[in-house]
Structure 1
Amino acid sequence: MHTIDQLEKQQVGLRLNKYLIEEIDEFTKQFNVNRSEIITEAIKSYISEQKANLIYQGIDDAFCELADIKNGKKDSKNLKELDEFLDEL
């Protein structure tokens, strides 16, 4: 959840290509929303996707590290780092 202060809106200026504005405007008419709502939802979606990518990359790195430890390519003391990562999840 966000605090009331965090939910307060702040105006920012954007420079977008004309074709993007035209596509946004098509959605505003089709779904009866304004540009800000579309841009806000797009940014939320992008941020969520990037956070998920970071988590999956961390998991992938952890599995690669485990494979290296299993195959004797890395010292098992690195397991502590993996345990710390898993605790964060």
Structure 2
Amino acid sequence: MRKKPNTRTAMYQLLEVIQEHIPFGLKEADMCQGICRGCSKKMMEMLDAEVSQWRADLDNQLAEPTLADLVFMEKLARRTEKVLRRNHLVD
């Protein structure tokens, strides 16, 4: 039976999955065209800020994530992906 990862390892893994699935390199002009169903730009900025902050904190050992932090990051990433999907920015 495999041992569950600690919260630090789980956060690193979650950040990797988020960076694989969310296209952080989108230009503002691509995000803000046509009919908008939720603000892709604001969601991407918020998610990018959270990911960057957690990456820095984990790398510098400034914070130890809790299960609530992991749940928050997952929900934020899912909401962001949902908005991007509604706006036809991801498949």
TM-score, normalising length: structure 1: 0.34
Higher-helix-fraction structure:
1
| Structure of larger gyration radius | 1
TM-score, normalising length: structure 2: 0.33
